[in-house]
Structure formats: structure tokens, C-alpha cells
């Protein structure tokens, strides 16, 4: 039996296991997003910083795929139309509008969409950042953990390319929806032995890679870093590594091993109270442990990230550069990438530059742009805000874990009609 046939049969078996498991329905579903009954008060604590760059990046990307669709619950808008609406806002920013004028434009020309609830648009907001890590080109006593490129034996199975094979099967409606969301599986090919066919099996877990040495000797190392730093870099997805001679490299997400992300914080409540749980608290606890104890905790998360070198700033899943305070990561099954959103949340305030716990929380709101995704960001009630680069960004991002509000901006029909007519007149010289 050839490899292609073996892969398809393995995929069918994995799909059977996935679809036959009991799964509580996701509430709310993607289709339940709709216009909010009361438009919130709008402000932007960063205006205009980063707004022109983030909107401009969306205009460029959406214009390249203008026939694709952005889905907001029951409403669908072409990427081309959405780019047209964002380009109007971009033009206003380039013309130097004030914050009040920009907000007025948004409120007049866009509807606010969110998921129903008490209150509407309620989401749990966390934050991520771009770390700057000390690195070495070779293993040293301080730098014992490798950062790896994509292994040659990592295989992606595109389930979306085989969906039609399962359409005739008698799945429940919710299972068909789940099948539609399951786009890829990652694994490796076990070649088998004489008399046994090859098969696609799960890729190596974190413990198998780091403790079992499954990638050693394959010349995949980008650099060597501290193992705790490496773990948190994988969670952030991108960052900067700095070598002793001063050379710096930006590296970012290239692939994942296919295992589900598991947050290790839930295993540490015996040592860290729930209300004190933060990235800083987890890191401090990990560094207080022996090597064996530390790795035992880290191996609770089997997910593993592989990296690639980037030419500039860290990039998002949408192919754009991250923008401090503007880029957000969401679950792409619920939220359309490239779209503009409005977020209300509480930001931490620190007494001194060395404080790691905030003295208070300040309510703020701002426009954000949906360009990214993450293994831990799942469902309709999650959003992850990119804070920035370095230690100051890390202490802010490390404590962000509060409920807030989140709404998408959807251009009104009459607004799009006027833009299309204007665009048509300009293209014909009328």
C-alpha cells in the first residue's frame, strides 16, 4: 500500500476517534455573532499610535484575496469590500484627522458586532509579547535547550482536502460542523517493517523531543537558550535572540507538533494561589525547582513549536508584522482575520519600573486589528493582545488575565455602496 493511501486511512481513523468522543457544544457558536443592541462608548487610549500601520496592513492583505469572504455571524462581506471600507479609514488617518473625528467616522459608517451575553461581547483577555533572549550558537552550561527548525519528518495532513470523502457518512449535524473546523492533523510517517504497511502516527511530544532526544544529530538547531526561556518563547510564538558577539536574530513560529496546548498553570495551584497566577509567578516557581522537577512540569504541555528566521519584526498568522498594542490573536473559527475590532479592558499599572505585580488596574479602550492566532486562544470568549517587545512588555503581558468586551466593526451597506460608486467613478475617470 502506498504512503498516500496509508495517510488517508490513518486520517479516517483519527477522524472517527475525534468525532465519536463526547464534546460539549461550544457556546456561543460562530453563527450567533450579530449587531449589538447598544453601541458602546468609544475611545482610543493609543490614538493614533500604530493604527495607521495596522489598518494599512489589513488593506494590503485583504486586497490580495478580495474574493474571499469575511463572516460575521449571519453577515458575509467580501474581503475586497472590507478592504475598501478600511482604506477609507486609512485615508482619513493619513489626512490627519483628530481622534474625535475618527471615532465619529467609525460610529456613522460601521455596525458593532459581538456575541450575545451578559454583557454583550464579553471575552477573557490575555496578552503576549516578543521576548529578547540570551542565546548561544553551541550548547553551554547556561544555554542547554535548543530552538529547532521544522523537522524533515513532520507531516501535515490537510483534512480540508479530504472532507468530501466523509460527506456521505451519517454524522450528526454538530459533528459535521466539528469536521469543518478540523482542517489539519500533524504527525510523522512510521515506515513500518517488512510485511507491515507504513502509517501516519502522532509526532513526538515535548518530553520525547527534549528528554528523549528525538531531534538530536539532525542539525536542526537555530540556537541554544535557557530551557525556561525556550518554553515561554514557544508560548509567545516569536521573539529575538541575542548572541554574545551582539548579533541579533528575529525568529518566529514555523510549525507545531500537532499536540494540544496544555496550560501548566493549572498544575501549580498548590504553590501559586489562583489570584496570584501570572507568567512571572510561574517562571519564578519553575526556576526554584531542580532540573528534574522543572522538566516534569514543562512536560505537562506536550505541544511544541518549531521556529524560522524572520527578516524583520515577528509576523502574525495573517502574514503581517505585529503592531504593539494593536495586534490581537483570536480563534479563526470564530473571528475573521484582517478585520478591525474595538476592545474594552483593564490595563495594569505598576508603581515602579521594577514592580512585577500591578498596584492598580486602569480601564481603557482602543481599536485593535485581528491578525493573529494561537494554540491556547480557542473559542468565542478569548482574545490575546500583543503588548510589545522586551522586559517591560513582558511584565505587562504576564499579568493580563481579565474579562473585557470585544466588538467587530462591520461596514454598513449604504456606506459600502457609496464607496463602490466613488471607486467606480474614479476608475472610469468620471
pLDDT value of position 274: 86
75 in Cβ contact with 345 (< 8 Å) = no
Number of Cβ within 10 Å of residue 220's Cβ equals: 16
pLDDT value of position 6: 33
Which is more confident, 153 or 353? 153
Say if residue 136's pLDDT is above 70: yes
Which is more confident, 370 or 424? 370
List Cβ<8 Å contacts ≥24 apart for 317-322. Answer: 317/253, 317/371, 317/372, 317/373, 318/61, 318/370, 318/371, 318/372, 319/61, 320/54, 320/57, 320/58, 320/61, 320/371, 321/57, 322/130, 322/238, 322/371, 322/372, 322/386
Residue 105 — very low, low, confident or very high, per pLDDT cuts 50/70/90? very high
Share of the chain above pLDDT 70, in %: 87
Pairing of strands 360-372, 305-310: unpaired
Find the mean pLDDT for residues 381-409: 92
123 in Cβ contact with 404 (< 8 Å) = yes
Q: Tens of pLDDT along 146-170?
A: 999 999 999 998 776 766 665 555 5
Q: Tens of pLDDT along 317-340?
A: 899 999 999 999 999 888 999 999
pLDDT value of position 19: 34
Find the mean pLDDT for residues 296-316: 92
- Domains within the chain, CATH numbers bracketed: 1-23+155-202 (no CATH), 40-154+203-262+301-428 (2.40.40.10)
Query: What would the DSSP string read from start to end of 272-285?
Result: S-GGG--HHHHHHH
d(C-alpha 69, C-alpha 81), whole Å: 10
Q: DSSP assignment, residue 136? A: B
Residue 429 — very low, low, confident or very high, per pLDDT cuts 50/70/90? low
162 in Cβ contact with 11 (< 8 Å) = yes
Find the mean pLDDT for residues 390-401: 89
Average pLDDT, the chain: 87
Residue 196 — very low, low, confident or very high, per pLDDT cuts 50/70/90? confident
Nine cell digits for residue 131: 521576548
Find the mean pLDDT for residues 305-323: 90
Pairing of strands 184-190, 155-158: antiparallel
Say if residue 371's pLDDT is above 70: yes
pLDDT value of position 120: 93
Find the mean pLDDT for residues 84-104: 97
Find the mean pLDDT for residues 266-275: 91
d(C-alpha 285, C-alpha 273), whole Å: 12
Residue 50 — very low, low, confident or very high, per pLDDT cuts 50/70/90? very high
Q: Tens of pLDDT along 230-257?
A: 999 998 888 999 999 999 999 999 999 9
d(C-alpha 358, C-alpha 356), whole Å: 7
Reference 248, options 312, 329, 326, 322; nearest CA is: 312
d(C-alpha 149, C-alpha 71), whole Å: 34
Say if residue 9's pLDDT is above 80: no
pLDDT value of position 174: 52
pLDDT value of position 232: 92
Amino acid at each position: 500500500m502506498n504512503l498516500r493511501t496509508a495517510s488517508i486511512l490513518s486520517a479516517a481513523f483519527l477522524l472517527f476517534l475525534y468525532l465519536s468522543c463526547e464534546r460539549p457544544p461550544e457556546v456561543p457558536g460562530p453563527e450567533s455573532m450579530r449587531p449589538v443592541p447598544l453601541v458602546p462608548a468609544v475611545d482610543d487610549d493609543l490614538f493614533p499610535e500604530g493604527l495607521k500601520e495596522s489598518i494599512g496592513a489589513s488593506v494590503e492583505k485583504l486586497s490580495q484575496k478580495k474574493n474571499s469572504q469575511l463572516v460575521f455571524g449571519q453577515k458575509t462581506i467580501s474581503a475586497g469590500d472590507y478592504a475598501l471600507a478600511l482604506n477609507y479609514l486609512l485615508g482619513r488617518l493619513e489626512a490627519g484627522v483628530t481622534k474625535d473625528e475618527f471615532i465619529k467616522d467609525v460610529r456613522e459608517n460601521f455596525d458593532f458586532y459581538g456575541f450575545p451575553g451578559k454583557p454583550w461581547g464579553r471575552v477573557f483577555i490575555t496578552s503576549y509579547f516578543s521576548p529578547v533572549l540570551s542565546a548561544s550558537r553551541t550548547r553551554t552550561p547556561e544555554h542547554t535547550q535548543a530552538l529547532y527548525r521544522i523537522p524533515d519528518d513532520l507531516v501535515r495532513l490537510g483534512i480540508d482536502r479530504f472532507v468530501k470523502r466523509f460527506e456521505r457518512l451519517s454524522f450528526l449535524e454538530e459533528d459535521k460542523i466539528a469536521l469543518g473546523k478540523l482542517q489539519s492533523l500533524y504527525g510523522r510517517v512510521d515506515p513500518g517493517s517488512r510485511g507491515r504497511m507504513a502509517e501516519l502516527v502522532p509526532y513526538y511530544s515535548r518530553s520525547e523531543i527534549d528528554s528523549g532526544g528525538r531531534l538530536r544529530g539532525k542539525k536542526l538547531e537555530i540556537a541554544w537558550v535557557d530551557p525556561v526561556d525556550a518554553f515561554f518563547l514557544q508560548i509567545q510564538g516569536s521573539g529575538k535572540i541575542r548572541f554574545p558577539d551582539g548579533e541579533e536574530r528575529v525568529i518566529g513560529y514555523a510549525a507545531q507538533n500537532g499536540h494540544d496546548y496544555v496550560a501548566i498553570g493549572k498544575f501549580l495551584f498548590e504553590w501559586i494561589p489562583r489570584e496570584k497566577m501570572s507568567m512571572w509567578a510561574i517562571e519564578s516557581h519553575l526556576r526554584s525547582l531542580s532540573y528534574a522537577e522543572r522538566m516534569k512540569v514543562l512536560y505537562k504541555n506536550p505541544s511544541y513549536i518549531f521556529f524560522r528566521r524572520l527578516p524583520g519584526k515577528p509576523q502574525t498568522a495573517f502574514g503581517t508584522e505585529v503592531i504593539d498594542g494593536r495586534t490581537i490573536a483570536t480563534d479563526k473559527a470564530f473571528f475573521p482575520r484582517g478585520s478591525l475590532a474595538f476592545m474594552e479592558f483593564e490595563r495594569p499599572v505598576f508603581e515602579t519600573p521594577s514592580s512585577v505585580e500591578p498596584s492598580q488596574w486602569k480601564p481603557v479602550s482602543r481599536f485593535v486589528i485581528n491578525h493573529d492566532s494561537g494554540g491556547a486562544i480557542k473559542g468565542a470568549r478569548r482574545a490575546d493582545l500583543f503588548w510589545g517587545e522586551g522586559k517591560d512588555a513582558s511584565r505587562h503581558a504576564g499579568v493580563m488575565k481579565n474579562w473585557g468586551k470585544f466588538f467587530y466593526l462591520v461596514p454598513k451597506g449604504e456606506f459600502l455602496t457609496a464607496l463602490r460608486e466613488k471607486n467606480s467613478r474614479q476608475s472610469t475617470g468620471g
